[in-house]
Structure 1
Amino acid sequence: MFTSFHRISAASLLLLATALPSQAETLRWLTQTQSHNAQYPVEMAAIEAIGATGVTVERNEFQVLGLNLADSLRLVGSGAFQLGTTQVGSAAKDDPFLEGIDLIGVSTNMDELKQAVDAYREAFNARLGEKFGVKAVAIWPFGPQVFLCNQPVETLDDLQGLKVRSFTASMSTLLKDLGATPVTLSFPEVYPALQRGVASCGVTSPTSSNTGKWPEVTSHLYPLSVSGSVQAHLVNLEWLNGLSEEQNAAFEASMAEMETGFWALAVETNDVAQSCSTGGDCPDDGLYTSYDMTLVPVSDTDKATVAEVAATKILPEWAARCEAGYPGCTEIWNDTVGKARGLVIE
């Protein structure tokens, strides 16, 4: 049961803050992170830090409430929740410009992705604020997005004719160019889809796949990274602007620290998770499970193929979709992510 939350004017807030300096705000926090996820301790530390400033945090999970992660942007923008996590590629169904932060084939390792995110952050938040009334207070990746299949796959050529889980428009463009059929599935839908043959392969990070038990229903892991699956913690701007100056500063600091922690996890944990999934060393920490998947070596030819498809198909296709609703967005991308990654959309 949620505590009622009433919006009040800035003048009224100032009056209340003067009369009742300990008056607490309520933050309805909607998350996809669960206790078995590597991100859970980092997120809980941020929640505790925010709570210490007098903000009452009510934490909820998409899975428990039966809500769709792809609706996070609208749930936060409407004020139904004051803060929510989102998979940016999925949220981009509401605005293609958002996907420009992590287009398939543009940033294929964490260093490249960090450059792209930092370059796009200001423009990304300007668009979010203008169109949706929200701000991304933490932007971070799950980690390298790789292929897990329930049948032998040695190269990208082997994806031809297979149904492969996709969760962004640009990923679907890549899969179609490779001769595969993209199947749009949310993360909880992938395990049963792989189990029942609705999909032959899925794309996600080694950490997410291991904790999500995908190795139970797949046999081959091809660690060719095509993106970083950028996530964002979105906050309702009306709520954020209603905080006191001290609470606002503390909130932003807590979010920045959480973002740093999530980036560290993306870099550090995926190698461990991949080792666990493919019969290698696996720590007995209760987080990961040992499996015996076949680890397929990545070829330079396939890396070049992804880069070529990105340059010749994904970038022009995305630009056309983006310009249709946001004229001038191609120039913005070229001046930000494009400049950081050495790419230009003509």
Structure 2
Amino acid sequence: MKFTYSFFALVATLVMSAMPAVGETTIRATGLVSTHKFHTALEKQFYAELEDKTGIDLAINFNPLDVVGVDMQDTLRMVRTGAFDIVQSTVGAAARDDAFLEGIDLIGVSTSMDQLEEVVKAFMPQLEKRVAEKFNAKPLAVWPYGPQVFYCNAEIKSLNDFEGLKIRSYTSSMSTLIEALGATPVTMSFKEVYPALQRGLVDCAITSPTSGNTGNWPEVTTHFLPLGISWSVNAHFINLDKWNSFSDAEKAKLENEFTDFQNAFWALAKQNNGWAIACNTGGDGCENYTKFGMTLVEPTPEDQAKVTAATMDKVLPGWAESCNAGYADCSKVWNATVGAVRGIELK
């Protein structure tokens, strides 16, 4: 009898130790692919310190996207179902389920970080509303990875040389631009790009200077064209049911911490991409990234003019048609937010 009592006492102890403490809120969070070393380090530190900084009793289980084996295109779907409480996604990846989301980062609309900050601020209220309706989620931090540029395993001197090439894309408007340049877009996730370049399945690929460097793309490419066409706007989203489980005071504390988190990502985008460009091309000023020896192809005014023309003639009309088909007020909302701050009107 004594043995039986001890056995059940042990089982009860083990079960209780595996359960969250009374009042403790469990959060299952996923973030960027772990090859993004600076960003992943920032995420790990943020989640490790969140309980202490907010004073909220939290049990956070955080893992990078590749560790949990989830495709970024599925993360908003998973936060909607509650499979994860907090997820990270590019708006471009999420836009396959709702074209409206891509309106924050359309090709060629924001040509500088300052312009992008204005666009994000103007679009945020509508982004919050739409994400709540479509995905039962709330954006807590919205930030850019950096300018989206071209890595090519082909000898190029300008955008004119893109005719007939196969180029990796990851958003609808990016694919429209690639087609306007006479190339063929090939949609694939980040983790698929390195082997695709290595095997010649694509000739060029688009990502930020930092992402390409940490992903070792210069090992399988030769020419680097740092012509920024968009900014890979990312967001951290929380499931609304989880969000609403917090008190108003707790929400205020969480929002304050996520604002600081967001600002840190903006700072990374402004600083680290300059280092990565220098490292990719073996130039002066290479810091904190792997040094390679890619050929630097300087963008020309003619290249920028090509992107602008494609944006106005192809990208914006194409996106508006697609977005309006799923959301009747899409063009109206975009004109009143992004269009207003950028001086662009969708017809």
Normalising by the residue count of structure 1, what TM-score does the alignment of the two structures yield?
Answer: 0.91
Aligned to 1:31: 31
Q: Which residue is 1:310 aligned to? A: 311
Counterpart of 1:345?
346
What displacement does 1:49 show? 3.3
Contact 2:140 2:258 in 1 (8 A): yes
Question: Could you say which structure has the larger radius of gyration?
Answer: 2
SS at match of 1:182: strand
Q: Name the structure 1 match of 2:42.
A: 42
Call closer, same or farther: CA 1:4–1:319 in 2, change over 3 Å: farther
Structure 1 residue 62 corresponds to structure 2 residue 65: yes
Provide, for residues 33-57 of structure 1, a one-character-per-residue CA deviation record: whole Å limited to 9, x for no partner.
4275221332233213322221111
CA distance in 1, matches of 2:158, 2:211: 22
Q: What secondary structure does 1:242 align onto?
A: coil
User: Which amino acid in the other structure matches residue 346 of structure 2?
Assistant: I
User: Which AA in structure 1 matches 2:31?
Assistant: T
1:282–1:289 Cα contact (<8 Å) kept: no
Rounded to whole Å, the distance in 2 between the matches of 1:61 and 1:43 is: 9
Of 233, 236, 239, which residue of structure 2 is paired with 1:233? 236
1:174 maps onto 2:154 in alignment: no
Q: Is the partner of 2:320 in helix, strand or coil?
A: helix
Shift of 1:4: 7.6
Deviates more, 1:265-274 or 1:57-66: 57-66
The C-alpha deviation readout for 1:108-164, integer Å capped at 9, x for no partner, is 221111111111000011000012110111111110000010111111111111110
Unaligned runs of 5+ in 2: 1-17
Shift of 1:60: 1.8
Please name the residue that 1:13 is paired with.
none
Structure 2 residue 257 is matched with structure 1 residue 254 = yes
Shift of 1:61: 2.1
CA contact (8 A) 2:30 2:64 kept: yes
Confirm whether residue 79 of structure 1 aligns to residue 89 of structure 2.
Answer: no
Give the aligned partner of residue 10 of structure 1.
Answer: none
Partners of 1:343 and 1:216 in 2: how far apart? 40
Q: Deviation of residue 246 (structure 1)?
A: 3.0
Change beyond 3 A, Cα 1:83–1:4? farther
| Structure 2 partner of 1:334 | 335
CA contact (8 A) 1:161 1:179 kept: yes
| Aligned residues of 2:280 and 2:292 also touching (Cα < 8 A) | yes
Task: Tell me the amino acid that sits aligned with residue 249 of structure 1.
Answer: A
TM-score by length of 2: 0.91
- Gap runs ≥5 in structure 1: 6-19
Aligned to 1:134: 137
SS at match of 1:314: helix
